[in-house]
Amino acid sequence: MEFKLLKKDPNCSARLGVVSTARGDIQTPIFMPVATHGAMKPLTPAQIKETGSQIILSNTYHLHLQPGEGLVKKAGGLHKFMAWDKPILTDSGGFQVFSLPNKRITEDGVFFKHELTGAEIYLDPATATRIQQDLGADIIMAFDECIPYPCDRSYAEKSTKKTIRWLKECQNAMTDNGQALFGIVQGSVYEDLREMCAKEMRKLDLPGYAIGGVSVGEGLELLKKIVGFTTPHLPEDKPRYLMGVGLPEDILESVERGIDMFDCVIPTRYARSATLFTRRGRIRVTNKNYKRDFFPIDPSCNCYTCQNFTRAYLHHLFVSNEVLSAVLSAIHNVHFYLAMMAEIRYAIGEGRYPEYKAKFLAEYQRG
């Protein structure tokens, strides 16, 4: 895996780049839709490609529990299993495991209960790395402790140091088969901890770095701060991935601060609850105003849904509990995100990212 930094916006830290993998190039900044169980909710791989997706994210935690990485490996790897031939990034399970109510964290790893069978399961850096290698991910995320928010400084410091140590264990566990390991910078809201973590992790010369421990309830203002004081300590020549972010406004602000990669369940999750993204803000298509609205969800959108269906039809599908509602809404929402990312890249290429961001947000927030 290689990263090429193509251009930096002259007026902010936004970057245009390309991540080259054996399964194709990824234009950055990019958004990665989430296929938790190796399925992007209602969308087929053919539909996912039509949204403009270049890379998707899947979950170590979920796939380890069901169907198990052994089966996926036997199936020929996750790409073949789910029929997705472009790059896949897998998270390490850190975020999921640390969100569980009953877990036991040691210095070496985490014990937790299988959500269905109740069996005790253990994950540690070497295991999480091995699972991701078995899945065949193009990008493997380090097993880290995702620090909750808020968190006192002393716990954050202790946890961050453990995450650094665990990263080294992940790196040691990696066998060479063309997969790329990304480190995850933790440190909660503490600038010096983020700096220390980033500096320690840079020493390992990894192919990419993520910022974790965000999207845990800290809000946009703190997110902007964390990203703002962390990215300057990350290497310029490696991709930077902000984990679990987020809403369009979160992405726009973070791109300005030098982030290259994003993932979030929002487009598909919101789709299921009838919340659709438009250039003029979000709409809830179950609202009775849309019952007789014969315009597309977003008249400026060229996705399959907007090219063929009206708000009235989507409204009807949701009211009728037809699962096609989630399909058409997911197509639109994921396409909306990917189209926004393409515009972001274009604006950076033109050297006018702050102007683009301001214009987008003005229209988006007016609606």
Binding site for a copy of itself (CB under 8 A): 37-47, 62, 66-67, 71, 74-76, 81-83, 291-292, 294, 304, 308-310, 312-313, 315-317, 319-320, 322-324, 326-328
Q: Among 280, 275, 210, which residue's Cα sits nearest to residue 245?
A: 210
For residues 308 and 327, give the distance between their C-alpha atoms in angstroms, rounded to a whole number: 13
Shortest approach of a copy of itself to residue 294 CB, angstroms?
Answer: 6
Q: Which is nearer to a copy of itself, 99 or 308 (CB)?
A: 308
Shortest approach of a copy of itself to residue 21 CB, angstroms?
Answer: 21
Q: Please pick, among 138, 144, 260, 263, the residue that the annotation labels catalytic.
A: 263
Q: Which is nearer to a copy of itself, 283 or 326 (CB)?
A: 326
Amino acid at site 84: W
Q: Which two tokens stand for residue 155?
A: 């716990």
Q: Please pick, among 91, 138, 144, 298, the residue that the annotation labels catalytic.
A: 91
Shortest approach of a copy of itself to residue 293 CB, angstroms?
Answer: 10
Name the pairing type of β-strands 88-91 and 281-284: unpaired
> How many CA atoms does the CB half-sphere of 11 hold within 13 Å?
11
Q: Among 212, 208, 77, 207, which residue's Cα sits nearest to residue 135?
A: 77
**Residues in the chain, how many?**
367
Amino acid at site 174: M
- Would you call 85 a catalytic residue per the annotation? no
Q: Which is nearer to a copy of itself, 177 or 320 (CB)?
A: 320
Shortest approach of a copy of itself to residue 321 CB, angstroms?
Answer: 9
Name the pairing type of β-strands 180-185 and 208-211: parallel
Contacts of 358 (CB under 8 A, 6+ apart): none
- Would you call 263 a catalytic residue per the annotation? yes
Active site residues: 91, 263
